[in-house]
């Protein structure tokens, strides 16, 4: 971001330098009617004075008038002030003409080369030229200032959107981690009432998983292999409390091509399957398949539906699942396909997620 700002500032300075080189060349050197004329030094002093007036008008307009009046929709006052600046520069130019006695000195110079040119009188060439060049400078100043303001606002808006998304992602991720942690602790607590040795094994697995949650997911991305290993550990942990009536079918890609992926992205879908797809008395099946095709990773989760008393699957998706859907929208806009099918006739709930990494 700092490099982009430096490039933008450098570009702005370069544009202004080029503008002043062109205008300075027109004002100080390119004077066709003075060609082959021995011009008195007073003329160049006067031109330098006018050039300084134009520089002052440029920056007065760009940094004071445009942001104070034009960008705040006070157009009438703005154009009145521009008119006043043009009149002031024309008046000061005429004053410089009289102060340096430019007209008489140039008439002498022209007499040496022939008769005095028409239009070189009191209200001739110089007044028109001054009005034209002043209007041109102010027009360029207004254009540059408005474009820079637009670019600055656009950059600021992008930064604010990026900060907002970053903050929202951090908040969503912070919600997912405790959600997973407390759900798993509840499962282990239930295991302690049935099998102490099994609950110890579960605690050891949970500690390994929490290291990933607390340390390896602090960055915005993790390795795909780490995420898949975490899902495998989670399924293994869930199987410790399942009865023989529950069948878990899990597959993952071998070999695996590494890609960075948002951490804790697959867990809520798998967790949701174990939450709603397990029955203590009836046979149930949970299917979790992770496949990879070049830069695409696909997650397929399918489970039987066993509604708890008074609960509805669609109305009770849980914090983790809802937040993951939001994270997908923020992190992979246009790069993910999420298909959710709740087949009530077959009593099967299916999630298919495709990520383009």
Q: Which domains occur in the chain, in start order?
A: 2-159 (no CATH), 194-356 (3.30.565.10)
Both tokens assigned to 45: 């002093």
Between 181 and 268, residue with greater pLDDT = 268
Between 118 and 284, residue with greater pLDDT = 284
Taking the alpha carbons at both ends of the chain, their separation in whole angstroms is 24
Residue 29 confidence (pLDDT)? 59
Rounded to whole angstroms, the Cα distance separating 269 from 288 reads 10
Q: Is 39 exposed, middle or buried (0-12, 13-18, 19+ CB in 10 A)?
A: middle
Confidence of residue 83 (pLDDT cuts 50, 70, 90): very high
CA Rg, the chain, in Å? Answer: 38
Average pLDDT on 194-221 reads: 77
Rounded to whole angstroms, the Cα distance separating 164 from 174 reads 15
Both tokens assigned to 152: 């600055």
Rounded to whole angstroms, the Cα distance separating 274 from 75 reads 65
Per the document, the length of the chain is 357
Residue 238 confidence (pLDDT)? 80
Q: Is 157 exposed, middle or buried (0-12, 13-18, 19+ CB in 10 A)?
A: exposed
Q: String of b and e for 324-338 (b: at least 16 CB within 10 Å)?
A: bbebbeebbeeebeb
Both tokens assigned to 273: 């399957």
Rounded to whole angstroms, the Cα distance separating 92 from 46 reads 10
Residue 239 confidence (pLDDT)? 81
What are 314-339's pLDDT values in tens digits?
Answer: 444 455 577 778 878 888 888 999 99
Distant-in-sequence, close-in-space partners of 110: CB < 8 Å, separation ≥ 6 = 37, 116, 117, 120
Helix/strand/coil percent split, the chain, to 5: 65, 15, 25
**Contact in structure between 144 and 67 (CB atoms under 8 Å):** no
Q: For strands 246-251 and 222-223, give the pairing.
A: unpaired
- Model-level pTM? 0.53
**Contact in structure between 270 and 231 (CB atoms under 8 Å):** yes
Token pair 């149930």 in the structure block, residue: 284
Q: Is 350 exposed, middle or buried (0-12, 13-18, 19+ CB in 10 A)?
A: middle
Between 93 and 119, residue with greater pLDDT = 93
Average pLDDT on 45-71 reads: 88
In the chain, what percentage of residues exceed pLDDT 70? 74
Average pLDDT on 267-296 reads: 87
Residue 310 confidence (pLDDT)? 43
Residue 350 confidence (pLDDT)? 93
């Amino acid at each position: 971001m700092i490099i982009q700002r430096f490039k933008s500032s450098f570009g702005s300075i370069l544009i202004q330098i080029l503008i002043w080189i062109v205008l300075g060349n027109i004002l100080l050197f390119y004077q066709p009617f003075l060609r082959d004329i021995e011009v008195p030094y007073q003329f160049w002093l006067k031109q330098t004075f006018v050039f300084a007036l134009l520089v002052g008008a440029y920056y007065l307009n760009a940094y004071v008038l445009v942001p104070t009046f034009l960008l705040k929709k006070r157009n009438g006052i703005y154009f009145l002030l521009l008119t006043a600046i043009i009149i002031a520069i024309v008046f000061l130019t005429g004053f410089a003409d009289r102060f340096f006695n430019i007209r008489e000195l140039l008439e002498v110079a022209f007499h040496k080369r022939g008769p005095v040119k028409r239009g070189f009188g009191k209200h001739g060439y110089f007044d028109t030229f001054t009005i034209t060049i002043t209007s041109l400078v102010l027009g360029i100043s207004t254009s540059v200032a408005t474009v820079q303001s637009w670019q600055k606002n656009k950059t600021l808006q992008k930064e604010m959107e990026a900060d907002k998304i970053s903050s929202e992602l951090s908040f969503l991720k912070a919600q997912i981690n405790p959600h997973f942690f407390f759900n798993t602790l509840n499962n282990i607590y239930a295991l302690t009432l049935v099998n102490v040795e099994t609950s110890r094994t579960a605690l050891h697995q949970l500690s390994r998983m929490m290291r990933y949650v607390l340390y390896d997911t602090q960055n915005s991305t993790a390795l795909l292999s780490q995420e898949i290993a975490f899902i495998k550990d989670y399924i293994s942990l869930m199987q410790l409390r399942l009865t023989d009536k529950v069948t878990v079918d899990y597959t993952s890609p071998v070999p695996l091509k590494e890609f960075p992926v948002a951490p804790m992205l697959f867990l809520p879908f798998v967790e949701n399957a174990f939450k709603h797809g397990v029955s203590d008395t009836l046979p149930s099946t949970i299917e979790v398949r992770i496949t990879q095709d070049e830069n695409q990773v696909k997650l397929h989760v399918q489970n039987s539906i066993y509604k708890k008393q008074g609960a509805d699957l669609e109305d009770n998706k849980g914090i983790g699942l809802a937040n993951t859907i939001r994270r997908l929208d923020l992190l992979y806009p246009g790069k993910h396909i999420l298909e959710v099918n709740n087949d009530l006739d077959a009593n099967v709930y299916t999630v298919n997620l495709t990520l383009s990494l």
